[in-house]
Amino acid sequence: MYEYLAIPIAYFIGSIPFAIVVSKLFGLKDPRQYGSGNPGATNVLRSGNKVAAALTFIGDAAKGAIAILLTLEIFPHISATIIALVAVAAFLGHLFSPFLNFEGGKGVATSFGIFLALDLNFALILLSIWILVVVLFRVSALAAVITALAAPFIYLFIHMSSYIVWPIFAAILVMASLLLYKHKSNIDKLINKKN
């Protein structure tokens, strides 16, 4: 019964807007007021402050991981279904933060933190894909889109010889879909540029 409380708590943890917090600590402009307007690490990097961008990424990833790890620490026998709901709740908190009038970031760092806590090998494979695309094409949005599209298939591939946790797979599908939705403007730009 009490384990269901982890879901709103995860949402609250995920909603902490580290891009805004870090920018204020460094005396930087609100990242919603320049560049892409996105309160995330990539946009903070456009301020020219690499340390602030790195701290934003770490903070956004950490909150995703903490939401999962804290739940597992308090409720070690929790069901996979509730853990999947906790993962999605933390992700939704980042995308639709009550501290930002229910707006938020695009979810790349937060999803990475969530996946690190859920499945280390899966997270590292996704990170490798993201890095490879960035190195080849120098476009972080393209890397995010390709990684999101690949994520569900990679999870199935690495677990098909052992055991697929279907609630976790469902959570990955939901998060990948939401990440793609939040990158809609980036996808439009990539398509228009190609045409």
The Cα–Cα gap between 37 and 30 comes to: 9
The Cα–Cα gap between 146 and 108 comes to: 12
The confidence score (pLDDT) of residue 168 equals 98
Within a 10 A sphere around the Cβ of 172, how many other Cβ atoms? 28
The Cα–Cα gap between 100 and 80 comes to: 30
Domain residue limits at 58: 2-192
The confidence score (pLDDT) of residue 1 equals 78
The Cα–Cα gap between 176 and 165 comes to: 17
Mean pLDDT by 10 residues, the chain (195 residues): 95 98 97 94 95 98 98 96 99 98 97 98 98 96 97 96 93 98 94 71
The confidence score (pLDDT) of residue 194 equals 61
Contact 95, 38 (CB under 8 A): no
The confidence score (pLDDT) of residue 120 equals 97
Domain count, the chain: 1
